[in-house]
Structure 1
Amino acid sequence: MKKTAKSLLALLALMLFSLSVSASAFAFNDIQKDPGKSYIEQLQKKGLVRGDGSGMFKPKSAITAQSAVTLIVNGFGLNIDNIRFIKEPKASDYFTKVKDNAPYAKAFIIAQLNGLDIPRDIDPNGKVTREQYAHWVYQAISKKGEYAWIEMYMTFKDEDKVTKGYMDSVQKLLIGKIASLDEKNRFRPKDAITRSEAAVILAKGITFVKNTKPVPQPEQPASPLTNVRMSSEAYGTEALKVTISAEAPHAGYGIEIANVAYKDKQAIITYRVVKPDPDRMYPQVITTVAAAVYISTAYTPVLGGEVQP
């Protein structure tokens, strides 16, 4: 019995030692004096950031585009689950330097289809500027809901250096205390953002979304159409006939193409409901309705949503 007790104590001690070694092995050894330490650790606990395998996070190193895009997509839980594709999208449909088999390719596809303004010729291994990263983070936050930002303008020393298309995003992150200025009242928009800076902005952005209620949006009336689907077939050698069909409660309803938006190599097709004539009576029989549009074979058709009249 004594030997058994000693064996159990020895095993317990070994387990505790193993746990302590395991915990320390996952801790970053180079962030103790970094101002973003607590935010980096927050992301680490969520499984969003990793080191280089040797216990180093390299907080002062510039973050690469592939890491930045992956971080934002995963951090805000962006996805393309609500988009229906006829053909599986590939990174090469949208980017010239992102290989289809790269481990980060899906993150780039998701970012693109969620409206992040990523240049078509972006280098996945290249650096990302602070204003560029702020722009992507703001766009990702906007996908989570419509928020009531305080109406004010934040002045800073180098605001004239911010790219015009990025200023609103920079302003929103400063107003929301998601991004901050340095001790000299500068944003340093053209500087490459470091891994630590990127982690801090992302962590604060995630907290903002978690703690801030979006502005309530008016409820959209339920659509009478169900089982909306899209199909395509060749029309000659250079065109596709794309058909959107659905089930309607009766023959009085119809469907029509509302718009075709061309972006990069996509043709995003939206539709609207044609309502029945209120002065007529229709047998309540489920009916298939359809509408078609023709597009170039150079584009991949994507089913967009219903557009309200």
Structure 2
Amino acid sequence: MKKRSRILAFLMVLVLMGSFGFDTHSATIFKDIGGLQEREAIGYLHNKGYVNGVGNGMFAPYATITTAQAIQLMVNFMELNLNDVRFVKAPLATDYFEKAINSAWYKEAFIITGVKNPVFPSDINPNQPMTTEAFVYYLIQTLELQYDLPMIKVLPQSITDNQAINPNYSGAIQRALYYGIIALDQQGNIHPNRLITRARAAQLVKNVMDYRDARERSIENTLKFEATLENTSRDDGYGMQFRMTNVSNKAVLLTYSSGQKYDYKVYDPNGKMVYQWSKDKFFTMALVDQIVKSGAYITFDEVWTYVDDEGMKVPEGVYKIVFETMFNYEDAFMTLSDTIYVDYSK
């Protein structure tokens, strides 16, 4: 009897391991997710073929996931593959992850991740249970890499259990809050060290997909705005005016999520960023709405005094300035930018 129990337990582990695979696309309704707030996300991902059940109509929403399962899930929902890659020799999972087993169920996902989504360190333990903070970190890294998101500086939100967060993960967690991927509980906690469950992982992935869809809509919306950056006369440095014009045929409502409405960065002749206007500045967290009528525009005037982030005068040369404005429009986050080059000589 004990032997049979061990066999059943072993089979259940194998089912859980592979249950983020592609091998089902049916509209199965799982018996054990009724009443869960993640139910809609689980059903959506299941119908897409990104997650599976564990058998007998069950999903096991409270089971925790391992690093290997998290990697498989990210490969699935990003629909990563190696169709456009040609190898000199057949790749192995251990070519990218030293602790992987080349015959394991996750081998293909590990190879794909090593080639297409290199956000995981090579020394990860595939069987290590994943914490909430680690899952959020790798999820945000994956989102930002796959969609080439611009690096943004956000005003950190207050997190009650912030001291429990791994400092290496804190930046990604703040960006996840900013993107709306995660939310704090009623006490302001994130519970970073709590092992993430299958249900919670499914919900966060669905949130990422919602953000991705909103961003794609925002890219379409950029056609409604025109951004220009021009030099203006200033005695104290290089003056510039950024203008954003509403070129659509209707008035639009823009929402700024903080006191920071714009930013600009300066790059030296070698492409290295030497100055960022927003560095060391603090902005109030407040929603500000602004209506821009058709044909109207918003302008931002700034000056660069030819210094770097340390306050030192930069050497002579041609510098690139990228000016951008960030806002929400029709429930989508948008960034508009333009570039100008400065030939600086003392």
* TM-score range relative to shorter protein: 0.5 to 0.7
Secondary structure of 2:129's match? Answer: coil
- Find out whether 1:69 has 2:88 as its counterpart: no
What TM-score do you get using the length of structure 2 for normalisation? 0.51
- The percent of aligned pairs where both chains have the same amino acid is 31
- The residue that corresponds to 2:190 in the other structure is 187
- Find out whether 1:123 has 2:125 as its counterpart: yes
Amino acid at match of 1:71: L
Larger radius of gyration: 1
Instruction: Map Cα deviations across residues 100-159 of structure 1 (whole Å, 9 max, x no partner).
Output: 122211111222333443243433233111111111111211133233557322221112
- Find out whether 1:199 has 2:202 as its counterpart: yes
Q: Distance in 1 between matches of 2:190 and 2:118?
A: 21
Q: Distance in 2 between matches of 1:115 and 1:27?
A: 31
Per-residue deviation, 1:192: 0.9
Amino acid at match of 1:170: I
Secondary structure of 1:56's match? Answer: coil
- The residue that corresponds to 1:285 in the other structure is none
Q: Distance in 2 between matches of 1:155 and 1:180?
A: 12
Which residue among 28, 53, 56 is the counterpart of 1:54? 56
- Find out whether 1:157 has 2:160 as its counterpart: yes
Per-residue deviation, 1:165: 1.9
Secondary structure of 1:132's match? Answer: helix
Compared CA separation, residues 112 and 180, structure 1 to 2 (3 A):
farther
Q: Distance in 2 between matches of 1:25 and 1:197?
A: 20
- The residue that corresponds to 1:38 in the other structure is 40
* Greater RCO, CA 8 A, separation 6+: 1
- The residue that corresponds to 2:179 in the other structure is 176
Compared CA separation, residues 30 and 96, structure 1 to 2 (3 A):
same
Given that 1:78 and 1:140 are in contact with CA atoms closer than 8 Å, whether structure 2 keeps it comes out as no
Q: Distance in 2 between matches of 1:203 and 1:150?
A: 24
Amino acid at match of 2:80: L
- Residues 268-279 of structure 1: pairs in structure 2 closer than 5 A: none
- The residue that corresponds to 1:79 in the other structure is 81
Q: Distance in 2 between matches of 1:130 and 1:116?
A: 20
Which residue among 107, 110, 122 is the counterpart of 2:112? 110
- The residue that corresponds to 2:170 in the other structure is 167
Aligned residue pair count = 194
Q: Distance in 1 between matches of 2:148 and 2:94?
A: 31
Compared CA separation, residues 80 and 140, structure 1 to 2 (3 A):
farther
Compared CA separation, residues 116 and 192, structure 1 to 2 (3 A):
farther
Q: Distance in 1 between matches of 2:119 and 2:144?
A: 13
- The residue that corresponds to 2:143 in the other structure is 141
Compared CA separation, residues 48 and 130, structure 1 to 2 (3 A):
same
Secondary structure of 2:176's match? Answer: helix
What TM-score do you get using the length of structure 1 for normalisation? 0.57
Given that 1:99 and 1:105 are in contact with CA atoms closer than 8 Å, whether structure 2 keeps it comes out as yes
Per-residue deviation, 1:72: 0.8
Q: Distance in 2 between matches of 1:105 and 1:36?
A: 29
